[in-house]
Amino acid sequence: MLFHVRMDVHLPRDLPAGERDAILAREKAYSQELQRSGEWRHIWRIAGAYANVSIFDVADNARLHEILSGLPLFPFMTIAVMPLLRHPSAIRDDDT
Amino acid sequence: MLFHVRMDVHLPRDLPAGERDAILAREKAYSQELQRSGEWRHIWRIAGAYANVSIFDVADNARLHEILSGLPLFPFMTIAVMPLLRHPSAIRDDDT
Amino acid sequence: MLFHVRMDVHLPRDLPAGERDAILAREKAYSQELQRSGEWRHIWRIAGAYANVSIFDVADNARLHEILSGLPLFPFMTIAVMPLLRHPSAIRDDDT
Amino acid sequence: MLFHVRMDVHLPRDLPAGERDAILAREKAYSQELQRSGEWRHIWRIAGAYANVSIFDVADNARLHEILSGLPLFPFMTIAVMPLLRHPSAIRDDDT
Amino acid sequence: MLFHVRMDVHLPRDLPAGERDAILAREKAYSQELQRSGEWRHIWRIAGAYANVSIFDVADNARLHEILSGLPLFPFMTIAVMPLLRHPSAIRDDDT
Amino acid sequence: MLFHVRMDVHLPRDLPAGERDAILAREKAYSQELQRSGEWRHIWRIAGAYANVSIFDVADNARLHEILSGLPLFPFMTIAVMPLLRHPSAIRDDDT
Amino acid sequence: MLFHVRMDVHLPRDLPAGERDAILAREKAYSQELQRSGEWRHIWRIAGAYANVSIFDVADNARLHEILSGLPLFPFMTIAVMPLLRHPSAIRDDDT
Amino acid sequence: MLFHVRMDVHLPRDLPAGERDAILAREKAYSQELQRSGEWRHIWRIAGAYANVSIFDVADNARLHEILSGLPLFPFMTIAVMPLLRHPSAIRDDDT
Amino acid sequence: MLFHVRMDVHLPRDLPAGERDAILAREKAYSQELQRSGEWRHIWRIAGAYANVSIFDVADNARLHEILSGLPLFPFMTIAVMPLLRHPSAIRDDDT
Amino acid sequence: MLFHVRMDVHLPRDLPAGERDAILAREKAYSQELQRSGEWRHIWRIAGAYANVSIFDVADNARLHEILSGLPLFPFMTIAVMPLLRHPSAIRDDDT
């Protein structure tokens, strides 16, 4: 089941550089593991912003929340979620 | 080059059924032709809305505008565009 | 899987009374059938508004959209959807 | 009498972990006691957000405010309230 | 139980003068009857607007909705409702 | 002359408890003195919010500002003002 | 007593030219008479908009509303009102 | 050339009293000097707010920015600018 | 003197094709004449929208309004104006 | 390929003066180098704001993001991006 998620990151200025780098490294590993497993299907950077648009393919709402609330950057993010479904004009098999 | 586009459709109530059906048929053909050519890379329906989220892969801004302003439903749409780029954490080859 | 849906109804003034009454009767039957089947789990009127808040329990996003886009009042509604899940503090069995 | 309440939680980063945990434990106990008494009729998590949607069934506005302003997390919440009533299409006895 | 209600009126330009005058006369009678019965406790015009702020004192949410949805101008109004309660600093007996 | 005023209070977390209590005590005394003098005609709490709706009856705009900017909580408030006048449908003598 | 008023005009496209011209002529006469009497103290056009910013000097809120609701263009305007007072740094006698 | 400027002031709570008083004294002198020179043509306080509405009469946009960015309170202000011009219904010589 | 102007066009559906084409032809001629004279310094289409961003270089606010309110499409546009000036980091002679 | 970018700067009050001056000096050099290379085609100050409107001419979205995220002031900016293209009425060769 597909979800559209936009994440905007706001790192506080007083976050120590070491802590920040550790969080970002964990975030990247976390994201790539979920991309490899297929649940985080797409991720794109939005030009000019510290933000991304992602497509998730998960079993249900609970799993989506588990993934999002487990993001190392979760405390520093504004997140917007929209449930998606196959469009009647879609032709790609994997737009479902 | 990737663009994120959200399209919300507002069909006026007094659009004759025949005209409406013809527009929708042309819209579907137009979209599927661009999906086949690869420029309209993804399209998803947003649950509960007469709206879609799409990803376009086009040569430049001018080509994006040419495609969007040529949509048979263009006069009945509200359109929001965001330029995208590869995310540093992306692993899929085609998220570029 | 649970979804929170708010529906605001805007009936155009020039909708003939007979057509309006027929739509409202079909809407009521449609809603009650889904309530009986368990997919439309709750519905409440919002005080002072021609609007409702509803909780749906459906198999997936596609089924939610099928239900909402099939509402007889769908062309006259503004709809807002939020995916829900069990709250860690919930104690009722049916808040899942 | 029913009320729809949305609560968004914003915990300040400099809240000591011990204080935070104590507040969250009190919040959970407070919520569950009111759920058992029947005044906090439903609570759901909103996917991707540190927020919930709740339905309260209370004697009057004053009691609603007493409950909400007594929440251990009240100083860290944005709260939105909407009075509800039975919908004319509702069929469940407990949607009143 | 007190409620704060703001009503903004938007009369369509093509409403026949006779129909409009009849609606306004019924609206005035309806409002004054409820003021006399005590349920419509206050009403004030907002300077520069075709709008009012009112305070209602009703038994419950359902009665508030019955009154508001029964307004002759209801189809032409935007209505915003806020539940009120006695303020801890209030000294007037009738601010409850 | 009547004014509708909404006040939302935002107390900073690092305000020392003693200072906060002193401000709140002064605020209450200030409000009650103006209620007794008749210039602060009504005050109600908004359910679920640290906020009030008040009606002032003052000589002019300058006096209104003098009262509001003199509130002990003024530095911690967001204030919205609307000038009111007697509604043509009002029947109470004191809705003027 | 001073008020800041912004008026945005939206003339419907199907207003007959003769009717429109008559309304605009009455609007101009109405405005100039009030400027001469001193109650409509200033009026400026906002560049690029069919809108004005005006300063009124009236006896009270009721008089302000009488003037604004009597504008020939009132049914075609969006109006925003802010009560003003002398600024402590003002040096002009007539900024009061 | 006329400009409408609204300035909202937000003084941080931790600004030392001495520094704050010095800034406010410089702000007042700065404003009054420009009022005397004729470039700051009007200034009014907005009732209930730490804000003013002002009318500037300056040679060009660059001079307007020079004045505004030179305000001692500039770092603590939110500023909104609208270019004005003579209204076709204006009768005062100095509304130009 | 430079101004940033965004124009969004909303052509009503019932505008006869002949009238629409005549307006668009006059709009193009009007714009190009002002581009040639130097007052309409830049114009760009916004991708995906029936809208443009333009830079005007005019003598004063009054001239800007004369140009904008004279646009053949003016009755069908939403216009937003921002006064600009030379940026301290600019190096191009014609960014003034 | 052209992009319209608005940048609003918010320097935190506790940024040490030396650090601030160093950032601003690097920002100016960075901007001027890109102006000289032709990628940062225009930059204007917005009157009354610590903000600019800029036009970029870059190879693609990725290059635009590289430039913007590399701005020394990037952590202190709110940035809004709109893709542009040649307007059908444009006559200047360099509005492409």
The model's pLDDT over J51-95, given as tens digits with 9 standing for 90+, comes to 999 999 999 999 999 999 999 999 999 999 999 999 999 999 878
Q: Name which of G4, G5, G61 to mutate to probe chain F: the one with the most chain F Cβ atoms within 10 A of its Cβ.
A: G61
Strand partners, A9: A77
Least CB–CB distance from F64: residue in H13, H48, H50? H48
- Check whether C94 has a pLDDT greater than 90: no
- Check whether E57 has a pLDDT greater than 90: yes
Phi, psi of J62 (to 5 degrees): -65, -40
Confidence class for position F31, pLDDT limits 50, 70, 90 = very high
Cβ neighbours of residue C53 under 8 Å, at least 6 residues apart?
Answer: C4, C5, C6, C42, C43, C44, C46, D4, D82, D84
* Structure token digits, residue E19: 């129909």
Q: Cβ of F50: how many Cβ atoms within 10 Å?
A: 17
Q: Name which of I61, I66, I82 to mutate to probe chain H: the one with the most chain H Cβ atoms within 10 A of its Cβ.
A: I61
Which range (A68-72, F91-95, I73-77) has the least confidence? F91-95
- Between H and I, how many CB-CB pairs are < 8 A? 33
The two counts, helices (H) then strands (E), for chain F are 2, 4
Q: What is the pLDDT of residue B43?
A: 98
Tens of pLDDT, residues F39-88: 999 999 999 999 999 999 999 999 999 999 999 999 999 999 999 999 99
Query: Which chain C residues are closer than 8 Å to E79 by Cβ?
Result: 48-49
Cross-chain residue pair C84–A61, CB shorter than 8 Å: yes
Cβ neighbours of residue I42 under 8 Å, at least 6 residues apart?
Answer: I53, I54, I55, J42, J55, J90, J92, J95
Q: Cβ of D62: how many Cβ atoms within 10 Å?
A: 18
- Which residue's entry shows tokens 């490899």? A36
Strand partners, F38: none
- Asked if residue D63 lies in contact with residue F1, where contact means CB atoms within 8 angstroms, the answer is no
- Asked if residue A61 lies in contact with residue C83, where contact means CB atoms within 8 angstroms, the answer is yes
- Which residue is closest to B67 within chain I, CA to CA? I48
Q: What is the pLDDT of residue G10?
A: 97
Q: What is the pLDDT of residue D96?
A: 81
Strand partners, B57: B2
Q: How far is E3 from chain F (nearest CA, A)?
A: 9
Q: Cβ of F27: how many Cβ atoms within 10 Å?
A: 18
Q: Distance (Å, rounded) from C-alpha H70 to C-alpha H65?
A: 8
State whether residue E26 sits within 8 Å of chain F by CB.
Answer: no
Q: How far is B35 from chain A (nearest CA, A)?
A: 7
Cross-chain residue pair H49–F12, CB shorter than 8 Å: no
- Check whether J13 has a pLDDT greater than 90: yes
Cross-chain residue pair A42–B95, CB shorter than 8 Å: yes
Q: How far is A32 from chain C (nearest CA, A)?
A: 25
- Give the mean pLDDT per block of 10 residues along chain A (96 residues): 98 96 98 98 98 98 98 98 97 85
Query: Which chain J residues are closer than 8 Å to H3 by Cβ?
Result: 47
Tens of pLDDT, residues C7-45: 999 999 999 999 999 999 999 999 999 999 999 999 999
Q: How far is D42 from chain E (nearest CA, A)?
A: 18
State whether residue B87 sits within 8 Å of chain A by CB.
Answer: yes
Q: How far is F62 from chain D (nearest CA, A)?
A: 33
Q: What is the pLDDT of residue G11?
A: 97
Q: What is the pLDDT of residue C13?
A: 93
Domains and CATH numbers, chain A: 2-83 (3.30.70.1060)
Which residues numbered 41-80 in I keep a CB inside 8 Å of some CB on H?
A: 60-62, 64-65
Give the dihedral of Cα atoms F10, F16, F20, F26; nearest 10 deg.
Answer: -140
Q: What percent of chain E has pLDDT over 90?
A: 96
How far lies J94's CA from each of C20, J2, J41, J89, J91, in Å?
A: 56, 11, 10, 13, 9
Cross-chain residue pair E48–G81, CB shorter than 8 Å: yes
Specify the DSSP element, H or E, that contains C6. strand C2-9
- Which residue's entry shows tokens 């490294």? A25
Q: What is the pLDDT of residue B93?
A: 85
State whether residue C5 sits within 8 Å of chain B by CB.
Answer: yes
- Check whether E94 has a pLDDT greater than 90: no
For residue G45, give the 3-state DSSP assignment: strand
Going by the DSSP 8-state scheme, the letter that residue H74 receives in this structure is G
Tens of pLDDT, residues I20-37: 999 999 999 999 999 999
Largest distance between two CA atoms of chain I: 49
Mean pLDDT of the H82-89 span: 97
- Check whether C93 has a pLDDT greater than 90: no
Q: Cβ of F85: how many Cβ atoms within 10 Å?
A: 22
- Check whether I94 has a pLDDT greater than 90: no
Identify the CA nearest to B43 among candidates A60, A88, C81, C64. A88
Tens of pLDDT, residues D9-59: 999 999 999 999 999 999 999 999 999 999 999 999 999 999 999 999 999
Least CB–CB distance from D46: residue in C35, C36, C82? C82
Specify the DSSP element, H or E, that contains J18. helix J17-37
Least CB–CB distance from A45: residue in B42, B46, B84? B84
Q: What is the pLDDT of residue J10?
A: 97
- Between B and J, how many CB-CB pairs are < 8 A? 33
- Which residue is closest to G11 within chain E, CA to CA? E13
- Which residue is closest to E47 within chain G, CA to CA? G65
Q: What is the pLDDT of residue C96?
A: 81
* Per-chain mean pLDDT for chain H: 97
Query: Which chain E residues are closer than 8 Å to F88 by Cβ?
Result: 28, 45
